[in-house]
Structure 1
Amino acid sequence: MTEDDGAWFAPKRFGYGAGLPIAWQGWALIAGLVGVSMALVFALAPAHQGYLAIAVIGINLPAMPLIAKKTRGGWKWRNGRE
């Protein structure tokens, strides 16, 4: 990270949203979300696929405002010219 602005994620060059993590906190958040999601897959997939979708969305959706807040420049549409 070249700037000490507290950002955890780089902005995407094209489109809307966050790019790759640029700080250890971003990597830790992504690893935690993937870990919890995978645990839910193994726990719920064999018997309750409907509950699995709800659970994975329920885990990842609340993290989106934090990811948006911690993205350098925020979330906005980017067309590659910035």
Structure 2
Amino acid sequence: MTSNEKRYWFPAKRFGWGWGVPITWQGWAVLLVYLGLIWGGAAALLASHGVFVFMVYTSILTAVFLAICQRKGEPLHRGGK
């Protein structure tokens, strides 16, 4: 890989919209941190603050995760093929 080539952390899905399973260790790290924060947030927030706070927390984490996928993932395919 030359210095001008961009290394994507997440490949675009072949069918449908979005990104597939990570293809680099950085992508796996981001995914595992995201899942760990969701799991930890469920344990910490559901009992003490309720479902609404947990849903807001999860929505914020998901927005950050999708922003990382958008920035570090392969561009999404447009069109039918």
Which TM-score tier does this pair reach, normalised by the shorter chain?
0.7 to 0.9
Aligned residues: 76
Please report how far the alpha carbon of residue 11 of structure 1 lies from its aligned counterpart in structure 2 after TM superposition.
1.1
Please report how far the alpha carbon of residue 76 of structure 1 lies from its aligned counterpart in structure 2 after TM superposition.
3.2
Match of 2:58 among 56, 59, 63: 56
Identity of matched residues, %:
25
Structure with the higher helix share, 1 or 2: 2
Letter in 1 for 2:66: M
Please report how far the alpha carbon of residue 78 of structure 1 lies from its aligned counterpart in structure 2 after TM superposition.
6.3
Distance 2:79 2:33 in 1: 28
Gaps of 5+ in 2: none
Distance 1:63 1:50 in 2: 20
Greater relative contact order (Cα 8 A, min sep 6): structure 1 or 2?
Answer: 1
Structure with the higher strand share, 1 or 2: 1
Cα deviations by residue, 1:17-70 (Å, 9 ceiling, x for unpaired): 111100000000000000011000011122411100000111120221221122
Structure 2 partner of 1:67: 69
Determine if the alignment matches structure 1 residue 14 to structure 2 residue 2.
no
Give the TM-score normalised by structure 1.
0.80
Which stretches of structure 1, 4 residues or more, deviate above 6 A after TM superposition?
none
User: Secondary structure at the residue paired with 1:44?
Assistant: helix
